[in-house]
Structure 1
Amino acid sequence: MISVVVVDAETPGNVGTIARAMKNFGFADLKLVDPPELDRDGEAYGFAGQAREDVLPSAEEVAFDEVAENFHTVGFTATTNEDARKHVRFPFRTPAELADDLVGVETDVALVFGRERVGLTNEELARLDQICAIPASAEYPVLNLGQAATVALYELRGLAMDESQLPDVEHERAAEPEIERFYERFEETLRAVGYPEGKRPKTMRLVRRLVGRAHPTDREITTLHGVLRAIERATRER
C-alpha cells in the first residue's frame, strides 16, 4: 500500500488540495503529522472536491516516528544540494524515476511531504529512505505544497491505479484495415496527380513511417480520406 503523509501543514487548504490530487490519481490513504484543524465547513473540505467524501475524512493522524519506523519512506524536497558530500539530500530521484524504482516493491510505502515554507528538515530527511525532487526552473524551483504533491502523484499514478483505470491509448488508433486503405488511396492519388512513378515507392515508405508514428484515430483517417477524394475530384475536373 502507498500512503501519502503530510507533515505539519500550516493551511487546511493545502491538505484539501492534496486529498483531491490523491483522489484524482488513485491514492486513498492519507496520514497527517501535526495537522491544522480540519473543519468540515472550512478550506480543507472546500478544496478537496470529491475527496471530501472518503480520502479526507478517513485521514489518520500519526507521529513522524511511526512513519519512519514502519514504512519505506520517500521524502519530497525542492532543495537538493547536488553534491555527494552532502548526502542528506543526495542522491535524489525525480518523480518519474521514482515511479520506476517503486514498481513491484512489496512493502508499505509512505510519500512524505513537508511544510509550506521550509519543507522537511534535514533531521527529518536523514531518517527517510529515499529523496525525491521535482525538476523546476533554477530561477524559481520552489513549488507550493499542494502543487508539489499534485505533480508527484500524477507521475506516480501507475502505482495506485490498476490498468483498467489508466487511459488506453491504443484503442484510439484507427483499425489497421482502414489505415491500409488510406495508404492505397494515397498511392492512387499520387498516380492521379501525375506524381513521378520512380519516386512513388520512396514516398509511400515515407508516408507509412509518418502515419505509423502518428497513430491516427478513426476520425483523422476519415478526414484524410476526404482530403484525398477532394484532390482526386479536382484532378478529374481540370
Structure 2
Amino acid sequence: MSHEPVVVVVEAETPGNVGTIARAMKNFGLSDLKLVDPPPLEPDGEAYGFAGHAREDVLPNADTVTFEEIVANYHTVGCTAITGEDSHRHRRFPYTTPAELAETLESIDSRTAIVFGREGRGLYNEEIEQLDQICSIPASNDYPVLNLGQAATIVLYELRDLTVDETQLPDREHERAEEESIERFYDYFETFLDAQNYNERKREKTQRLMRRLIGRSHPTGREIHTLLGVLRRATDQLDHRQELLEKYDESDRFGDDGAQASDDE
C-alpha cells in the first residue's frame, strides 16, 4: 500500500473517544486524523487525557474537514455495525471484515480514508451511500454495536501489517528441531514404555499417537532436548525401581547368609 490511510471521525460526541482513536492510530503507525464537526478538544481535557503519546502529534495535528471533502478526495471505507442487507440492497452490502479489508487495501494505489461515525447512531444511510466500501466487525448478534474508540482500535489493529514496519515484539521465527533429535525422542519414548511394562496391545497405537502429536507441534531443538531429558529421568527411575523390586524378591527367597532357605526353616 503506497499511501498511509487517513482516519476520519464524523461528528464524535465524546472527546474521550477522539483521544482513544488518536492513541490507537499512534499504536498502529497512523498519523493523519481528520475530524468532521468534532467536539471541543481542550489541551487539558478528556481527549488529550485519553490520547497518551498521541497528544504530542496525532491529536494536535488533526484537521477539521467536511464529509464532502473526504468523499471527493479519498477512496472511502465506512465502518458500521449494521449490515443486515443482502445482494438486493447495496447500501450496507457487500461488506468486509477488518481482516479482509487489510487484504483488499494492500494492492490499492490510492489515498484511502477509514471513516467512523457517531457513538450512538453511527454513519447515516445517506452518508453510507456515498462511501466506496463497507467494513464491519464480527460481533455477537445479540449486541453487535461497539464503542466508537473500541471499534476504531480493532480496525486499525487489523491494518497493522500495512502501516507498521516493525513492532516491539521479538522475532519469533520458529526453527523445528532436527529430525535426528526428534527420532531420538521417539526411540527414548519406546524405551520409556518398556520400562513401565506398557500394554503390548496398545503400544503401537500409543507410539503412533505420540509421533502425530510431536509432528503437529513442530518442537524446537530446545523443547525436544528438554523432553528427552524428562524421558531419560523417568526411565532411569523406573529402572531403579525395578532393580529394587528384584532385590526385594530375591531377599524373600534367600536367607541372611545368602543360602536358599530350607523347607523346614
Aligned length: 235
| Deviation for aligned residue 1:62 | 1.3
- The residue that corresponds to 1:97 in the other structure is 100
Q: Deviations over 1:108-146 (max 9, x none)?
A: 110000000100001111111001111111111111101
Q: Identity of counterpart residues, as a percentage?
A: 58
Q: How does 1:143-154 map to 2 (within 5 A)?
A: 143-154=146-157
Structure 2 residue runs of 5 or longer lacking an equivalent are 242-265
CA distance in 1, matches of 2:131, 2:168: 30
Evaluate the alpha carbon distance shift between residue 217 and residue 147 of structure 1 in structure 2; reply closer, same or farther with a 3 A threshold. Answer: farther
User: SS where residue 32 of structure 1 aligns?
Assistant: strand
- The residue that corresponds to 2:257 in the other structure is none
- The residue that corresponds to 2:80 in the other structure is 77
Q: How does 1:1-238 map to 2 (within 5 A)?
A: 1-162=4-165, 164-165=166-167, 170-171=172-173, 173-174=174-175, 176-177=177-178, 180-194=180-194, 206-216=209-219, 220-238=223-241
114-123 or 215-224: bigger deviation: 215-224
35-44 or 196-205: bigger deviation: 196-205
Amino acid in the other structure paired with 1:176: A
Amino acid in the other structure paired with 2:185: R
| Deviation for aligned residue 1:151 | 1.1
Amino acid in the other structure paired with 1:187: D
Amino acid in the other structure paired with 1:137: S
| Deviation for aligned residue 1:33 | 0.9
183-192 or 133-142: bigger deviation: 183-192
Evaluate the alpha carbon distance shift between residue 27 and residue 211 of structure 1 in structure 2; reply closer, same or farther with a 3 A threshold. Answer: farther
Say if 2:191 and 2:235, in contact at 8 Å, map to a contact too: no
CA distance in 2, matches of 1:9, 1:218: 53
| Deviation for aligned residue 1:206 | 4.7
Q: Deviations over 1:144-172 (max 9, x none)?
A: 1011111111111111112x33857642x
CA distance in 2, matches of 1:52, 1:96: 28
Structure 1 residue runs of 5 or longer lacking an equivalent are none
User: What CA RMSD, in Å, does the superposition of the two structures yield over aligned residues?
Assistant: 2.6
Amino acid in the other structure paired with 1:75: G
| Deviation for aligned residue 1:220 | 4.1
Q: What TM-score does the superposition give when structure 2 sets the normalisation length? A: 0.79
CA distance in 2, matches of 1:16, 1:180: 55
Q: What TM-score does the superposition give when structure 1 sets the normalisation length? A: 0.87
Evaluate the alpha carbon distance shift between residue 83 and residue 17 of structure 1 in structure 2; reply closer, same or farther with a 3 A threshold. Answer: same
CA distance in 1, matches of 2:104, 2:225: 42
